[in-house]
Amino acid sequence: MSAPEVFRSAFKNEKRRPTLYLEASFSDLTYHASLLARSKEKDPWRYNAEEVVRNSHPTRTVIAGRSNRGARICGKVIIKPSPFQSIVTSAEALGAFTDEELLKIKALKEYAIYAPSTPILRGVSPDNSHNAPLGLYGGSLAEALNDILENKILKEELQSFFKLLDWFQTIGIRRPSDILQSKHVHTSNKVVMYKDRYMKKNFNELYAYDVSEGALYILFVVVLLLHKMSPNIFALDNIDNCLNPGLITNLMSHIAETLKTDSLKQVFLTTHNPTALDGIDIFDDSHRLFVTKRGENGSTVFERIMPPKGLTKDEWLEKYQGMKLSEIWLSGAIGGLPQGTF
């Protein structure tokens, strides 16, 4: 939601560039782009330069590229493409990519950052992101859950929810009842319904606006992981949002276990809660932990936390006397804490 100007670095004693630079590498493809970002213009975002490269050995092939000197796709000069559209789109239309490469490009295009908001998860506030199958801020949870329940295999996999929150007997979708829905609440004609195993059988239904934030957030994450239309690459901002410490660890473990069965999925998570670290294994290369900090000039620095080379997991535990990763973080050993807190 920030203005385009905000995306351009503005550090002291450094000339501010008119463009920002993005790069992504996956498998044998590398993509980079230089973007102009000027808030005062009618069209504030435009491509300045782009290049898509296939890094197959022994040769390096430029699939598509553009600059001030012109544009090429598969070595052929093309009419200058629109500055408001990626040259990747034109390259796709001209059949420049393999089927496998197209899958990776699609995953990158669909990347999304989710930051669920409680009122939106409850279904009492709109989600203006209009993202499908789930809104970026928690919208369309009832509709997405309904899709899961209509799929026999996914419905069985949804049982994982009850391993995380065992006080619920069932979850589902229903039309809100006049008895259970307050006249002050306005929702769609489908609401998420939870059945509480500790309540009377003739009065044990709770709607999304009756249960805890944690119950809603856990369901959102489980549905996001299961739904076939969810992005293959996505981020969850503040995974520790509204969850108690033990539940955060369990949710992290659940996410890690779920991703083992789907090699196409990759999830980025941010956290400020140490117990989130206890659900990952830094000896597993598919689990990657980064500490984010500011460099000397104020720029953002990402430092990957890895065990010392050659150290086994047992030796690591011995070195830190069996401490959990959360305790090691709080000790100040891996950084990520403000100075003066340890």
| 8 belongs to a structural domain | yes
The pLDDT assigned to 5 comes to 86
Q: Do 18 and 64 share a domain, yes or no?
A: yes
pLDDT score of 308: 84
Q: Are residues 179 and 223 in the same domain?
A: yes
Tokens 């996999």 locate to 157
Q: Is residue 291 part of a domain?
A: no
Half-sphere exposure of 189 (CA within 13 A, CB side): 0
Instruction: Determine phi and psi for 287, rounding to 5 degrees.
Output: -105, 115
Check whether residue 214 and residue 257 sit in a common domain.
Answer: yes
Residue 38 forms part of a structural domain: yes
- Whole-prediction pTM value? 0.88
Q: Exposure string (b/e) for 261-284, b if CB count within 10 Å is 16 or more?
A: eeeebbbebbbebbbbbbbbebee
Residues contacting 300, CB < 8 A, separation 6+: 292, 293, 294
Domain check: are 205 and 245 in the same one? yes
Last residue of a domain, one of 280, 304, 324: 280
Does residue 243 sit in the same domain as residue 118?
Answer: yes
The reply to whether 329 falls in a domain is no
**H-state helical runs in the chain:** 87-93, 99-109, 118-121, 141-149, 152-157, 160-164, 213-226, 245-260, 313-319, 325-330
**Domain-embedded: residue 288:** no
For residue 67, the 8-state DSSP code is: E
Residues 105 and 39 in one domain: yes
Q: Which amino acid is located at 171 in the chain?
A: I
In a domain, 306, yes or no: no
By C-alpha distance, which of 194, 251, 255 is closest to 226? 255
Q: Are both 121 and 253 inside the same structural domain?
A: yes
* Residue 241, amino acid: N
Residue 316 falls within a domain, yes or no?
A: no
Among 131, 98, 103, 93, residue whose Cα is nearest residue 115: 131
Any idea what the CATH number is for the domain that residue 132 is in? 3.40.50
Residue-level pLDDT at 81: 85
- Among the candidates 94, 109, 124, a domain finishes at 109
User: Which pLDDT score is estimated for 339?
Assistant: 67
pLDDT by 10s per residue, the chain, length 342: 788 888 888 898 889 888 999 998 877 899 999 999 887 778 889 999 999 999 876 778 999 999 988 999 998 998 888 899 999 999 999 999 999 899 888 988 899 999 999 999 988 888 999 899 999 999 999 999 999 999 999 999 999 999 999 999 999 988 876 655 665 665 667 889 899 999 998 888 888 888 899 999 999 999 999 999 999 999 999 998 888 899 999 999 999 999 998 888 999 999 999 999 999 999 999 999 999 988 888 889 999 998 888 888 888 888 888 888 899 888 888 887 776 554
Residues 266 and 127 both lie in one domain: yes
Give the whole-angstrom CA distance, residue 161 versus residue 165: 6
Q: Provide the number of structural domains found in the chain.
A: 2
130 and 174, same domain (yes or no): yes
pLDDT at 59: 79
Are 24 and 136 in the same domain? no
Q: Are residues 218 and 118 in the same domain?
A: yes
144: amino acid identity, one letter? A
Quick one: 62 and 123 in the same domain? Answer: no
Range of the domain at 214: 112-280
DSSP 129-164: T--SSS-TTSTTHHHHHHHHHTSHHHHHHTTHHHHH
Does residue 130 lie within any of the structural domains?
Answer: yes
